[in-house]
A = this chain, B = another copy of it.
Amino acid sequence: MTNRACIIAIGNEVVHGFIVNTNSAWLARELGELGFDVAYHLSVNDRQEELVQRIKGALDEGLFVVTTGGIGPTVDDRTRQAAAQALDAELKLDHDALAKLHERYSAVGRKFPEGSERQCMRPEGSRFIHNAFGTASCFLARKGDGGIAVLPGVPRELKGIWGEELRAAIIEEFGLHERYFSREVRVFGIPESNLNNRVQEQLESAEAEGAILVDDAVMRLRWRVQAGDQAEADKVLQPLIESVRTELGDLVFAEGNVELETCTVHLLAEKGLRVACAESCTGGMIAHLLTNVPGSSDVLVESAVTYSNDAKVRRLGVKPETLEAHGAVSEETAREMAAGIKRESSADLCVAVTGIAGPGGGSDEKPVGTVWLAAAMSDEVQAWHLRVPGDRELVKWRTARTALNTLRLAALYGKLPETIAHWVAPP
């Protein structure tokens, strides 16, 4: 029998749309990994009667109900009471939890706030789940084929509690000996339809369930399989991952939950390469992405965000005659920018971009999305003409990722790459 689940987000702010609910998607993925079939997500106001009815309805269907929100110290926080009513159990004060909460306040020298004992109430017969990330304690209870887990609405707390204790408690309470295990690789540089064709055979594997998950130009190829443990799952997953890596080569930039910028910074650090950028149309986004990665200070020397022509001349030594003859968005300017930042910074590897992000500045000859990207390494400079589809935001996003990918490939091979992304225009 497949275990089934539903996710209920509780709170007026979510229902009125003042907060975008990201918890439900996160929980759905986690429940999916545990082998639960998620039937629906619901977001409701904190009206107790309605809440009881919704939870009861789901329990009657045999669902495992995971709630978020409404467990704080105020009287509006009604989830504990509603869960107890739906379970037909008495809501009781957990004295151990209360003692711990008192300790928590006295440890930081703060007074115990009035009403906070409400956060230690749970239905009789439920299992206490410790919240090391906040003051509201949580609980888990079984009922029939299903049950309920009651969690806070703050994403950081929710994720912390899940990983720390709740996930293991669910595996135990539901006897999940056969769970889902998954592996994924991340891909950059080809269109989705092309990717689909190249890994169709692996996606249609009879032994594992494959999927392509697309976040614009970054795509994730994921397979999952039911197994007793990771080692057993890997017997199926490992050959699939290897076969996809063989097929796609350097289009795969990482395995697992790794961003393109993280993988790029780590690879540059590993190879001992120091980088510098010259950015026009990306306006600092390449450096912003690189510096999101802890440890990037070992890798990034500088980025010269030369938005004006004057700055291109002054900071990078681009010749005024080049700008005059070919314009700021041209192969010649991009090459001089890359050579200039290399000379000025003495970095091992440099990337430069100049383009038209829009909405203004386009022409018939150079429409919005026209970008020149150049890279410099050792004594070599290479340039690519990109035609990047999309509006201002997308042109910046896609160009910045293409620049990161150029750095990654150069670090991988120790020389400038030939192919960097599918939006390079045919010569």
Please give the residue numbers on chain A whose beta carbons come within 8 Å of chain B beta carbons, in ascending order.
14-22, 24-30, 32, 38-45, 211, 213, 277, 279, 282-288, 290-292, 294-297, 300-308, 310-311, 314-315, 344-345, 357-361, 392-393, 396
Contact = CB atoms under 8 A, between A and B. Distances in A.
Q: Which 4 A-B pairs have the closest CB atoms?
A: A283-B291, A17-B28, A284-B287, A284-B284
Given A15-B28, A17-B32, A344-B314, A292 B396 contact: yes
13 contacts: A15-B40, A16-B32, A18-B213, A21-B25, A21-B41, A39-B44, A40-B42, A277-B305, A279-B287, A283-B287, A284-B288, A288-B288, A303-B305
Contacts of A286: 284
A17 B6 CA distance: 12
Given A301-B308, A302-B307, A24 B40 contact: no
Nearest to A18: B213
A39 B29 contact: no
A294 B358 CA distance: 7
A48 to B, nearest CB: 15
A311 B307 contact: no
Given A288-B283, A291-B396, A43 B44 contact: no
Main secondary structure of the interface of A (DSSP, over half): mixed
B305 A311 contact: no
Interface centre among A42, A288, A310, A396, by most B CB within 10 Å? A288
A43 B29 contact: no
Nearest to A47: B39
A279 B277 CA distance: 14
Contact of A306 (B25, B39, B284, B302): B302
A312 to B, nearest CB: 9
B304 A304 contact: yes
A398 to B, nearest CB: 14
Given A41-B15, A42-B40, A284-B287, A311 B345 contact: yes
Contacts of A19: 25
A352 B16 CA distance: 40
Interface centre among A15, A292, A357, by most B CB within 10 Å? A15
A361 B358 CA distance: 39
Nearest to A26: B17
B288 A302 contact: no
A288 B287 CA distance: 9
A297 B308 contact: yes
A143 to B, nearest CB: 22
A241 B101 CA distance: 42
A44 B24 CA distance: 12
B305 A305 contact: yes
B308 A283 contact: no
Contacts of A285: 284, 288, 291
Contacts of A392: 292, 294
A42 B42 contact: yes
Interface centre among A19, A30, A302, by most B CB within 10 Å? A302
Contacts of A279: 284, 287
B17 A20 contact: no
B24 A43 contact: yes
A304 B307 contact: no
A13 to B, nearest CB: 8
A350 to B, nearest CB: 13
A222 to B, nearest CB: 9
Given A285-B284, A288-B283, A291-B283, A18 B29 contact: yes
A302 B292 CA distance: 21
B29 A24 contact: no
A138 B93 CA distance: 52
